[in-house]
Amino acid sequence: MGKVIAVANQKGGVGKTTTAINLSASIAVNEKRVLLIDLDPQANSTSGLGFEKNNRSVYDLLVDNQQAEDLILNTQLQHLDLIPSNINLVGAEVELVNIENREKILALNIRSIKSKYDFVIIDCPPSLGLLTLNGLTAADSVIIPVQCEYFALEGLGQLLNTINIVKKHFNPHLEIEGVLLTMFDNRLRLSHQVADEVRKYFGDKVYKTVITRNVKLSEAPSHGRPVILYDAQALGSQNYLQLAAEILSKNNN
């Protein structure tokens, strides 16, 4: 049965989608079967893997009860599949609001496909609304990306509170998979100060791997590719391969 990992932080611009795409790709090149679910209405994971944003999408799974199997797209990487997103997802929170067990719709609808994958990665939107709630309820664990910039810890208390609420009411087995430092610039004292602060706050939950600022990492999505297919030698590629190795080691895969 595949492990389901949500990537979540309600702050925008923390490297959440970059992490969802490139972690998924880096696990896939280790010949593990990975499904990436784009749960963000901005659909950046979808376009970042080279797909148009007008496909049938996770919206059809959540609102129209379509089968997850029918929505899966094969990516350029042999072991990486995608359930895409599109702009229709913006209205999903309103459409789901009166549905019973609305927080569990994603969890229920991916049960049938989890066994086909080693990992299912969910790219949650930058908010703590019903979509993120579905992602956390469906997940076994959550990765929290934290950028090494001012206000890095701002709002994290709210996210941790949401995780605790999900544990209490919907998903008692939800754990923090890890906290990932992103946008690290070794030349800046601020980056080191924030990294120290995050490690002090989260302790051994913080990954040893740190994602450094990297031009290739920023360029890759505009080419519709994970960075490992755009430039395998780039520092961003190496960072995410290291992160994948750390996660695989932790999960004994």
What are 232-248's pLDDT values in tens digits?
A: 999 999 999 999 999 99
Pick the more confident residue, 11 or 21.
21
Task: For residue range 164-207, list pLDDT tens digits in order.
Answer: 999 999 999 999 999 999 999 989 999 999 999 999 999 999 99
Residue with tokens 């990975």, as numbered in its chain: 34
What is the enclosing helix (H) or strand (E) of 82?
A: strand 80-83
What does the pLDDT read at residue 155?
83
What does the pLDDT read at residue 184?
95
Q: In which order are the strands placed within the sheet that holds 73-74?
A: 73-74, 80-83, 34-38, 119-123, 3-7, 141-147, 175-184, 206-212
Task: For residue range 125-154, list pLDDT tens digits in order.
Answer: 999 899 999 999 999 999 999 999 888 888
pLDDT at 45 over 80: yes
Torsions phi, psi for 7 (to 5 deg): -110, 115
Pick the more confident residue, 12 or 122.
122
Q: Using the Cα atoms of residue 67, residue 71, residue 75 and residue 80 in order, give the sign of their dihedral.
A: negative
What does the pLDDT read at residue 62?
94
3-class secondary-structure state, position 120: strand
What does the pLDDT read at residue 1?
66
253 band by pLDDT with thresholds 50, 70 and 90 = low
Greatest alpha-carbon pair distance for the chain in Å reads: 51
Cα distances from 120 to residues 34, 93, 111, 223, in angstroms, run 6, 22, 11, 24
Where do the domains of the chain lie, and which CATH numbers do they carry? 3-250 (3.40.50.300)
What does the pLDDT read at residue 241?
98
Strand 175-184 and strand 206-212: the pairing is parallel
Q: Which amino acid is at 47?
A: S
Q: Which of 52-56, 86-90, 242-246 has the lowest mean pLDDT?
A: 52-56
What is the enclosing helix (H) or strand (E) of 71?
A: none
93 band by pLDDT with thresholds 50, 70 and 90 = confident
CB 113 within 8 Å of CB 28 = no
The H-assigned helical ranges of the chain are 16-28, 44-48, 58-63, 92-96, 105-110, 130-138, 156-169, 189-202, 215-219, 227-230, 235-250
Q: Which amino acid is at 100?
A: E
Percent of the chain with pLDDT over 70: 99
What does the pLDDT read at residue 209?
97
pLDDT at 218 over 70: yes
pLDDT at 55 over 70: yes
